[in-house]
C-alpha cells in the first residue's frame, strides 16, 4: 500500500531520532507576582496573518447567511413543505445554543481565578516553551487546529490559560452540550471561547450544516485556533481512546476545497501526575453513574482544592501541515465538479485519509505524553499483588524505567532524584491507592476486611481500576513489543510466520483497546520485534524468533503487563458465548457482563478485576463487531447486537491456544 | 525591433515605433525592477551575439524528396538560420536555449507554400516519402508545440504558412471574409479596415500570430466579450490532412449535423493537418472607442465588481483587464508637461490618502468600450456605477490606454529581465467565479513556497490578473519572475515551480489552459483533464486522420 508510506516513514524516523524539548514551569512566575496584575495585563495576542477581525456575533450572521446553510434551509423547506423562515429561525436557535461569545473580560476573570485554583491544586505546570514558539509561528501562517489529549476537564481550561499566558490567540473550543446544563458556568465557558455541540446529530441535517459551517467559517477567517478532542470524550482509563472523525473531517474540508492554502494540526499531550477525576472515573467504569454536570456538583467538588495533584506536563507538538500530509495522496477532482457550498459526502479516499490523519495525530500525542515515575510504580505494583517488598519495588521500577526509555517512552524523572525518593513521592501523592506497610507496598484497601463479599470485591475493583489508570499510560508505548511477546507465548513455536499470525490476531482483537495506525500490521510487528531485539529480549533469524536466555524476564514482564486484557477479553467473550441467546442492546450487555464477571470474582475463579471496566467491555464488543463475530444493527432506539456463536468460539479457541490462528500468511514476511 | 533597453542615464526606454510607448522613457522602471527582484544593472548576462552555424544539427533530407519538391516549384530552404528560427516558440526554456545553447532536434527543411494547392502537394509528398510535417504560423507558441520531438528520425518539414496571407474575398451581405490561414493578425485587421471592417479578434500576440495558429490552438482575444473567441468567429475551415481535405459543404451560421467537425480541428495543435483557408465573421469598424480605468482598494473588491459587471453588462463591455498598480506606474512614460504630472500627483494623493487605499495592494481595471457613441457612453456610465458600489474609483482614460498597451509589451519585459538574471513567464487558466480569489491566493502562495524550497535567494515576483470574464467564470493570468543569481540550473528550477503552480491550479478547480493550449508542455495532465475515454476519443480521430503520424509534432496526446 503505497499511500501509507509517507505516514509510516515519518513514524519510523521519529522512533530513531527522538529529541524532545525542555520544560518550563509556568506556575513559578504566578507564585511570585500578582495574579490580578497578570489577569489585567496588556493582552495583544499573535494572530493569523490573513485575519479579517470580526465579533463573535458577526460570525453567527455570516454562518446563517452563508450559501451552505441557506442551501440546506431551502432543501429542507422544500422537503417538509415548511416556510424557509421557520427553518431559518430554527437555524438561528441552533447557532445561539452553539455559538461562543468570547469576551476579554471573562478571559481575564478566568486568568485570575484559574491562577488561584491551579496554584492550589498543582505543584507545577510544565510546558515545552519551544513548542509554544512553534505554535506562535504557526498561528500567524495558517489556520491552526489544536488537538489535545483528553484526560480531564482541566485540559481545555489549562490550554486556554496557557495560550493567554504566552500571548497567543485564544482558541475556540468544541465542548459537549452537557456543560450548558450547568448554570452560570456554561455561560462563563461560552464567554471564554467554548462552543457547544450536541452529542449526536448524525440524522439532523440542519444541525450538521449549521455546525459544520460555524466551525469552517472560523477556520477560514483564521478567527482563532480551533480546539477539539480527537478522542471525543475524556478517557476514563488514561489510555488514548480511538479517534472520532467527524470534527476532524470538518476542519480538513476548507483545505480540500482549497478555501485555505494549508491548515496546521497541532498534537498536544497533556499528562497529569494525578488525575483530578480519578475516583469518579473508577466509579463510572464500575457502573456507578457519572454525576451530571451541575454547578452545585462543581461547588461540592471544591473540597478537592485541599488535595495535592502533583505536576501537569503539557507538550505542544510540532505543527503538522495538512498540505504536506495530503500531497500526492488525494484526488481533489470530485471537489471541483460540485459547487463548493453543496454538502458533499466525502469519497472513500478522503474518509480513509481522515482516519489516517486522526490516528497519526493520536500517535503523536502518545509519543510526547510525559510519564511520571509513579506510572512505572503502578505497573510494577499491579503485577505483584497483593504486596511487594519496597526495595524490590524500587529495583523493578528502575529496571522498568530503562525498558520504557528503550521503547521510546517519555519519562520525566526529576534530575538527581534518587529512585527511592521518586517512588516515595509517588506513594505520597497517591496515598489513596497504595501505601507502605512494614516495608511492603500494598494497595490501599482500608475497610476492606469488614463487609460482605460483594462489597469487598467492589472496593478492591475500585482501587485496582484507579491504579491501572496509571499503568495504562504505558500501554500504548509498550503495545507492539508486548503483543509480540504475547504472540510468542501463544504460538509455542518460533516460526516467524506463526508468531506474526498470532500478533496480527491480537492486534485485530485489541484494535479498539490500543492505538494502531490502520493497515500496517506488518510494520507494527517489525517495530515490536525491533524493540525487543534492541533490548536483547529476542533474537531473530530469517525464519525464526526466539527469546534469549536473559530476555525471558522482559518477555514475561511484557506479557504480564497485558495479561489483564487477555483474560478480561476471554471472560467477556465467554459471557457472550454462554449467556446471550438473543439480540441485545449495549444497555443490556454492560450490566450483564458485569454481573457475570462479578460472580466469578466473588467465587474467586478469576482475579481479573479489570474485566469489570465498562471501557474494556465496550472495546471488546466493538472489536467483535469489526471482526464480524457480532452483528450490529441500527434500531430506532440505538443499536442491537447479535452474536455469531461459531465465530466467538473460534476466537476463544485461538486464545486458549487450542487451535492455531487461521489466517493467510503474509507473503512479504 | 521593439524592446526595452536601459539608456545611458540608466533609465529604461522602450524602443521601436510599433507601440505608442515607443521612444518613451520610463523613469521609475529601473527602481521598480531593482526593488522587486534584487536585480542590479551591474550584474548582466550576455547572450550569444549570433547563431553559430556549426552548432546546428545537420539536416536529414532525402534526395528523392528534394527532387519531387523542386518539381512542385514550392520554395524551400535548408539554411541553418531558417531552420533554427522555426524550431521553437516563445517558452522561457526555448528562449534560454536560444541564448545559451542549441536545440537537439530542429526542422530539416523549411517550405513556403503560397496557396491551398501547394499545401496539398506537400502533404502528398510527405505521405509518399514518409516525412514529418510541423506546421508553422507566427511562431508565438508558449506550449512547446513547435519543438521538434528529439527522437524523430524522419525528415522534419517545417511548413511555414506565412506566404499564404491573402484575403480571398469579403462578403459584405453576410459579413464574412475568406482568408488564407497564414495571415498575421495585425495584417488581417489592417487590410479589413481598408474596407471598413474588422474581425475583433485581438489576442495579445496579434502582431505575430496567424489565423491558422488561432484555429489550431483555440485562441482567445481581448475583445471576445463583443466579438467572441475563435470558435465563435469561425464559419468555415478548410484543412489538408493525410486522409485528404476536410471541410463543410456550406457557409452557414450554424448547423446540426452531428458533432461539429470544426471542434476536431480547433485545438488540434497541428497534429491532424494544416489549416489553409478560413471563413471568418467580420463586423463594421466601431464608430467610437473609449478607454477607461477604475482603481479598487484591493483585488477582492475588483474581482467582485468584475463578476457583477459580467452579470449585468454581459457582451457589452469590451475588455476588462487587471493589474497591480505599481506595475502600471513602473511603465508610466515620463510626462512632458508639468501640469499633467501635477494633476497625476493630485490623483495619486487622492487615491492613497483620501480613500485610504493602500497603493501596494491597489488594483486597477482597464476598460475599452467600442460601438456607437451613445451606447458606449451609456455602458460606460453603467460600468462606473457598478464599480462605485464596489469601492472603485474612476482613474481616467490615460491609465486605461496604458494598461491596454501594456498587455502587448509585457512579453518584452521578459527579454529585458533575462539580461539581468531575472527569468519569468506568464501562464493562464480559466476558473469558475467562486474560486477565482482562492485560486489566485493559493497559486501565488505556492509559487513563493516552491521558490523558497528550491533555493531561490530573492523573493519571487508573482502577481495575477483577470483578463477575460464569462458568465460562468474568468480567465486568470499569472506572472511570475525571480532573480536566479546563485542557481546553477535556473530553467530546471523554473520548470519545477511552474509545474507545481499548474498542479495547484488544477487542485483549485482551474483548467489546464484557457487559450495557450497543451502542446508538449502540459501533456502530462491531459488524462486528468479530459478523462481516459476523452483521451481515447481524440486518439481515435488522430489514428483515422493521420495513421502514419505525418503530423508528428507529438502535441496534445
Residue B321: burial class (beta carbons within 10 Å; 0-12, 13-18, 19+): buried
Return the minimum-mean-pLDDT range out of B6-20, B224-238, B282-296. B6-20
Q: Which residues neighbour B181 within 8 Å (Cβ) at sequence distance 6 or greater?
A: B137, B161, B164, B210, B211, B212, B215, B274, B275, B276, B277, B278
pLDDT of residue B37: 73
Q: Average model confidence (pLDDT) for chain A? A: 88
**Cα(B418)–Cα(B90) distance, integer angstroms:** 13
pLDDT of residue A129: 94
pLDDT of residue B301: 84
Q: Which residue has the higher pLDDT, B216 or A223?
A: B216
CB contact under 8 A, B508 and A261: no
For the stretch A106-156, pLDDT in tens is: 989 999 999 999 999 999 999 999 999 999 999 999 999 999 999 998 998
User: Using alpha carbons only, how large is chain B's radius of gyration in Å?
Assistant: 24
pLDDT of B20 higher than 70:
no
**Cα(A495)–Cα(A161) distance, integer angstroms:** 54
Choose among B434, B441, B528: nearest Cβ to A261.
B441
Residue B121 CA: distances (Å) to CA of A85, A199, B111, B130, B243:
73, 78, 11, 14, 13
Beta strands (DSSP E) in A422-502 are 434-437, 440-443
CB A549 within 8 A of CB A391: no
Helix axis angle, A453-491 relative to A373-383, nearest 10°?
Answer: 90
pLDDT of residue B308: 87
Q: Which residue has the higher pLDDT, B394 or A592?
A: A592
Residue A2 touches partner B, C-beta closer than 8 Å? no
Is B273 annotated in some ligand binding site? yes
pLDDT of residue A317: 96
- The separation between CA B510 and the C-alpha centre of its own chain, rounded to angstroms, equals 18
pLDDT of B59 higher than 70:
yes
Q: Which residue of B has its CA nearest to A220?
A: B438
pLDDT band at B379 (very low <50, low <70, confident <90, very high): confident
Task: Tell me the three state secondary structure of residue B223.
Answer: coil
CB contact under 8 A, B509 and A339: no
pLDDT of residue B332: 47
CB contact under 8 A, A335 and B441: no
CB contact under 8 A, A339 and B442: no
Per-position DSSP letters for B388-439, written without gaps between them: HHTT-EE-HHHHHHHHHHHHHHHHHHHHHHHTTTEEEEEEEEEEEGGGHHHH
pLDDT of A11 higher than 60:
no
pLDDT band at B47 (very low <50, low <70, confident <90, very high): low
For the stretch B474-484, pLDDT in tens is: 999 888 888 88
Distance from CA of A257 to the nearest CA of B (A): 7
pLDDT of residue B421: 82
Distance from CA of A656 to the nearest CA of B (A): 53
pLDDT of residue A115: 92
For the stretch A504-536, pLDDT in tens is: 999 999 999 999 999 999 999 999 999 999 989
For the stretch A28-37, pLDDT in tens is: 888 888 888 8
CB contact under 8 A, B446 and A336: no
Which region holds residue B392: left if phi is over 0, alpha if psi is between -120 and 50, else beta? beta
pLDDT of residue A231: 95
What ipTM does this complex have?
A: 0.84
CA neighbor of B26 nearest in space, from B355, B450, B451, B330: B330
C-alpha cell at A460: 478492591
Per-position DSSP letters for B201-214, written without gaps between them: ---TTTTT-BHHHH
pLDDT of A50 higher than 50:
yes
pLDDT of residue A325: 95
CB B192 within 8 A of CB B185: no
For the stretch A347-368, pLDDT in tens is: 899 999 999 999 999 999 999 9
Q: The cell 526593488 sits on which residue?
A: B35
For the stretch B482-506, pLDDT in tens is: 888 888 888 899 999 999 999 999 9
Q: What is the 3-state secondary structure (H, E, C) of B323-334?
A: EEHHHHHHCCCC
pLDDT of residue A249: 94
Residue B405 touches partner A, C-beta closer than 8 Å? no
Q: Average model confidence (pLDDT) for chain B? A: 85
pLDDT of residue A9: 41
For the stretch B79-123, pLDDT in tens is: 999 999 999 998 888 888 888 788 999 999 999 999 999 999 999
The enclosing H or E element of B225 equals helix B224-227
pLDDT of residue B408: 67
Q: The cell 502577481 sits on which residue?
A: B463
Distance from CA of A143 to the nearest CA of B (A): 14
**Cα(A559)–Cα(A555) distance, integer angstroms:** 6
**Cα(B170)–Cα(B280) distance, integer angstroms:** 10
CB B87 within 8 A of CB B148: yes
- The separation between CA A323 and the C-alpha centre of its own chain, rounded to angstroms, equals 25
The enclosing H or E element of A342 equals none
pLDDT of residue B321: 47
Give the mean model confidence (pLDDT) for residues A566-587.
89
Q: Which residue of B has its CA nearest to A141?
A: B445
pLDDT band at B170 (very low <50, low <70, confident <90, very high): very high
Give strand pairing partners of A127.
A24, A314
| pTM score, whole prediction | 0.89
Q: Which residue has the higher pLDDT, A454 or A90?
A: A90
Residue B462 touches partner A, C-beta closer than 8 Å? no
pLDDT of residue B505: 96
Phi, psi for B3 (deg, rounded to 5): -165, 170
C-alpha cell at A304: 478537592
Is B36 annotated in some ligand binding site? no
CB A620 within 8 A of CB A644: no
Q: Which residue has the higher pLDDT, B355 or B245?
A: B245
Is B217 annotated in some ligand binding site? yes
CB contact under 8 A, B509 and A259: no
Helix axis angle, A390-406 relative to A373-383, nearest 10°?
Answer: 120
Is B218 annotated in some ligand binding site? yes
Q: Which residues neighbour B170 within 8 Å (Cβ) at sequence distance 6 or greater?
A: B176, B177, B192, B195, B197, B282
Verify whether residue B412 is a known catalytic residue. no
For the stretch B423-452, pLDDT in tens is: 888 899 999 999 999 999 999 999 999 999
pLDDT of residue B226: 82
pLDDT of B323 higher than 70:
no
pLDDT of residue A654: 87
Amino acid at each position: 500500500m503505497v499511500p501509507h508510506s509517507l505516514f509510516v516513514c515519518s513514524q519510523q524516523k521519529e522512533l530513531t531520532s527522538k529529541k524532545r524539548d525542555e520544560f518550563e514551569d509556568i506556575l513559578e512566575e504566578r507564585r511570585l507576582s500578582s495574579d490580578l496584575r497578570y489577569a489585567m495585563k496588556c493582552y495583544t495576542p499573535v494572530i493569523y496573518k490573513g485575519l479579517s477581525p470580526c465579533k463573535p456575533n458577526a460570525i453567527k450572521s455570516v454562518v446563517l447567511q452563508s450559501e451552505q446553510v441557506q442551501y440546506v434551509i431551502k432543501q429542507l423547506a422544500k422537503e417538509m413543505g415548511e416556510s424557509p423562515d421557520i427553518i431559518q429561525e430554527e437555524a438561528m436557535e441552533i447557532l445561539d445554543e452553539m455559538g461562543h461569545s468570547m469576551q476579554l473580560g471573562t478571559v481575564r476573570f478566568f486568568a485570575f481565578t484559574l491562577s488561584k485554583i491551579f496554584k492550589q491544586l498543582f505543584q507545577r505546570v510544565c510546558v515545552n516553551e519551544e513548542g509554544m514558539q512553534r505554535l506562535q509561528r504557526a498561528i500567524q501562517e495558517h489556520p491552526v487546529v489544536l488537538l489535545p489529549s483528553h484526560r480531564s476537564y482541566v485540559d481545555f481550561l489549562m490550554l486556554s490559560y496557557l495560550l493567554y499566558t504566552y500571548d497567543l490567540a485564544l482558541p475556540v473550543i468544541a465542548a459537549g452540550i452537557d456543560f450548558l446544563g450547568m448554570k452560570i458556568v456554561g455561560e462563563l465557558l461560552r464567554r471564554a471561547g467554548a462552543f457547544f455541540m450536541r452529542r449526536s446529530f448524525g440524522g439532523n441535517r440542519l444541525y450538521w450544516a449549521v455546525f459544520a459551517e460555524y466551525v469552517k467559517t472560523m477556520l477560514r477567517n483564521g478567527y482563532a485556533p480551533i480546539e477539539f478532542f480527537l478522542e471525543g470524550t475524556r478517557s476514563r482509563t488514561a489510555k488514548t481512546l480511538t479517534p472520532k472523525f467527524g470534527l476532524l473531517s470538518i476542519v480538513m474540508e476548507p483545505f480540500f476545497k482549497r478555501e485555505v492554502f494549508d491548515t496546521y494540526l497541532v498534537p498536544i499531550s497533556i499528562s497529569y501526575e494525578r488525575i483530578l477525576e480519578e475516583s469518579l472515573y473508577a466509579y463510572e467504569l464500575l457502573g456507578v453513574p457519572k454525576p451530571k454536570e451541575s454547578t452545585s456538583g462543581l461547588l461540592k467538588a471544591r473540597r478537592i482544592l485541599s488535595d495535592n495533584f502533583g505536576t501537569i506536563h503539557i507538550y505542544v507538538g510540532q505543527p503538522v501541515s495538512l498540505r504536506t500530509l495530503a500531497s500526492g495522496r488525494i484526488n481533489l477532482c470530485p471537489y471541483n465538479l460540485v459547487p463548493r457550498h453543496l454538502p458533499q459526502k466525502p469519497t472513500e479516499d478522503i474518509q480513509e485519509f481522515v482516519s489516517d490523519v486522526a490516528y497519526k495525530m493520536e500517535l503523536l500525542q502518545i509519543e510526547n505524553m510525559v510519564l511520571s515515575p509513579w506510572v512505572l510504580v503502578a505497573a510494577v505494583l499491579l503485577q505483584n499483588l497483593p504486596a511487594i517488598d519496597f526495595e524490590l519495588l524500587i529495583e523493578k521500577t528502575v529496571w522498568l524505567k530503562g525498558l520504557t526509555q528503550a521503547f521510546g517512552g517519555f519519562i520525566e524523572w526529576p534530575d538527581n532524584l534518587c529512585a527511592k525518593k521518586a517512588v516515595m513521592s509517588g506513594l505520597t501523592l497517591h496515598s489513596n491507592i497504595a501505601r507502605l506497610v512494614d516495608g511492603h507496598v500494598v494497595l490501599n484497601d482500608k475497610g476492606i476486611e469488614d463487609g460482605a463479599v460483594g462489597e469487598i470485591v467492589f472496593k478492591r475493583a475500585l482501587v485496582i481500576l484507579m491504579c491501572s489508570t496509571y499503568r495504562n499510560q504505558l500501554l500504548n508505548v509498550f503495545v507492539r513489543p508486548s503483543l509480540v511477546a504475547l504472540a510468542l507465548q501463544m504460538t509455542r513455536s518460533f516460526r516467524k510466520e506463526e508468531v506474526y499470525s498470532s500478533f496480527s490476531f491480537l492486534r485485530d482483537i485489541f484494535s479498539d483497546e490500543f492505538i494502531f495506525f490502520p493497515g500496517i500490521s506488518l510494520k507494527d510487528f517489525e517495530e515490536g520485534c525491533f524493540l525487543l531485539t534492541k533490548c536483547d529480549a529476542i533474537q531473530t533469524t530469517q525464519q525464526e524468533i526466539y527469546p534469549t536466555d536473559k530476555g525471558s524476564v522482559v518477555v514475561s514482564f511484557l506479557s504480564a503487563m497485558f495479561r489483564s486484557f487477555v483474560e478480561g477479553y476471554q471472560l467477556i467473550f465467554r459471557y457472550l458465548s454462554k449467556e446471550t441467546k438473543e439480540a441485545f442492546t449495549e444497555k443490556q450487555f454492560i450490566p450483564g457482563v458485569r454481573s457475570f464477571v462479578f460472580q466469578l470474582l466473588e467465587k474467586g475463579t478469576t482475579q481479573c478485576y479489570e474485566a469489570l471496566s465498562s471501557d474494556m467491555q465496550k472495546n471488546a464488543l466493538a472489536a467483535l463487531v469489526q471482526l464480524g463475530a457480532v452483528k450490529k444493527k441500527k434500531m430506532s432506539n440505538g443499536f442491537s447486537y447479535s452474536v455469531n456463536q461459531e465465530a466467538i468460539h473460534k476466537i476463544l479457541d485461538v486464545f486458549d491456544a487450542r487451535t492455531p490462528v487461521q489466517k493467510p500468511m503474509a507473503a512479504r514476511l | 525591433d521593439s524592446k526595452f533597453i536601459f539608456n545611458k542615464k540608466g533609465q529604461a526606454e522602450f524602443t521601436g515605433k510599433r507601440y505608442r510607448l515607443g521612444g518613451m522613457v520610463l523613469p521609475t522602471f529601473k527602481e521598480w525592477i531593482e526593488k522587486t527582484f534584487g536585480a542590479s544593472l551591474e550584474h548582466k548576462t550576455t547572450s550569444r551575439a549570433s547563431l553559430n552555424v556549426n552548432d546546428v544539427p545537420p539536416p536529414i533530407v532525402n534526395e528523392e524528396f528534394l527532387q519531387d519538391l523542386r518539381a512542385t516549384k514550392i520554395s524551400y530552404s535548408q539554411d541553418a538560420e531558417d531552420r533554427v528560427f522555426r524550431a521553437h516558440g516563445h517558452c522561457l526554456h526555448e528562449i534560454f536555449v536560444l541564448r545559451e545553447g542549441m536545440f537537439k532536434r530542429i526542422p530539416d527543411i523549411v517550405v513556403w507554400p503560397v496557396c491551398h494547392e501547394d499545401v496539398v502537394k506537400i502533404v502528398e509528398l510527405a505521405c509518399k516519402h514518409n516525412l514529418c510535417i510541423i506546421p508553422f504560423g507566427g511562431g508565438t507558441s508558449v506550449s512547446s508545440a513547435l519543438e521538434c520531438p528529439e527522437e524523430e528520425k524522419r525528415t522534419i518539414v517545417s511548413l511555414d504558412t506565412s506566404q499564404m496571407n491573402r484575403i480571398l474575398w469579403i462578403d459584405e451581405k453576410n459579413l464574412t471574409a475568406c482568408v488564407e490561414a497564414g495571415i498575421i493578425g495585425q495584417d488581417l485587421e489592417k487590410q479589413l479596415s481598408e474596407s471598413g471592417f474588422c474581425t475583433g479578434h485581438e489576442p495579445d500576440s496579434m502582431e505575430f500570430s496567424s489565423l491558422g495558429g488561432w484555429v489550431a490552438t483555440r485562441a482567445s482575444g481581448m475583445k471576445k466579450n463583443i466579438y467572441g473567441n475563435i470558435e465563435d468567429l469561425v464559419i468555415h475551415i478548410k484543412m489538408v490532412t493525410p486522409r485528404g481535405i476536410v471541410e463543410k459543404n456550406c457557409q452557414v451560421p450554424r448547423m446540426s449535423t452531428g458533432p461539429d467537425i470544426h471542434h476536431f480541428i480547433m485545438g488540434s495543435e497541428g497534429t491532424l493537418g494544416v489549416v489553409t483557408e478560413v471563413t471568418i465573421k467580420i463586423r463594421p469598424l466601431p464608430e467610437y472607442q473609449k478607454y477607461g480605468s477604475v482603481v479598487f482598494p484591493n483585488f477582492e473588491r475588483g474581482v467582485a465588481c468584475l463578476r457583477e459587471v459580467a452579470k449585468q453588462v454581459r457582451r457589452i463591455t469590451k475588455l476588462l483587464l487587471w493589474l497591480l498598480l505599481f506595475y502600471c506606474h513602473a511603465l508610466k512614460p515620463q510626462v512632458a508637461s508639468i501640469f499633467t504630472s501635477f494633476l497625476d500627483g493630485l490623483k495619486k494623493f487622492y487615491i492613497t490618502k483620501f480613500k485610504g487605499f493602500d497603493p501596494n495592494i491597489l488594483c486597477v481595471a482597464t476598460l475599452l468600450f467600442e460601438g456607437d457613441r451613445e451606447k458606449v457612453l451609456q455602458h460606460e456610465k453603467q460600468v462606473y456605477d457598478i464599480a462605485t458600489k464596489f469601492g472603485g474609483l474612476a482613474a481616467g482614460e490615460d491609465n486605461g490606454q496604458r494598461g491596454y498597451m501594456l498587455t502587448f509589451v509585457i512579453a518584452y519585459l521578459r527579454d529585458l529581465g533575462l539580461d539581468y538574471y531575472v527569468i519569468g513567464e506568464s501562464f493562464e487558466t480559466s476558473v469558475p467565479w467562486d474560486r477565482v480569489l482562492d485560486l489566485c491566493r493559493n497559486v501565488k502562495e505556492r509559487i513563493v513556497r516552491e521558490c523558497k524550497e528550491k533555493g531561490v535567494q530573492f523573493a519571487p515576483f508573482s502577481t495575477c490578473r483577470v483578463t477575460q470574464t464569462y458568465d460562468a467564470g474568468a480567465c486568470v493570468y499569472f506572472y511570475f519572475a525571480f532573480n536566479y543569481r546563485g542557481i546553477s540550473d535556473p530553467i530546471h528550477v523554473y520548470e519545477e515551480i511552474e509545474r507545481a503552480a499548474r498542479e495547484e491550479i488544477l487542485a483549485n478547480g482551474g483548467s489546464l489552459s484557457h487559450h495557450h493550449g497543451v502542446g508538449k508542455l502540459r501533456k502530462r495532465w491531459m488524462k486528468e483533464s479530459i478523462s481516459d475515454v476523452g483521451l481515447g476519443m481524440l486518439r481515435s480521430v488522430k489514428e483515422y486522420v493521420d495513421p502514419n503520424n505525418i503530423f508528428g509534432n507529438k502535441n496534445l496526446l
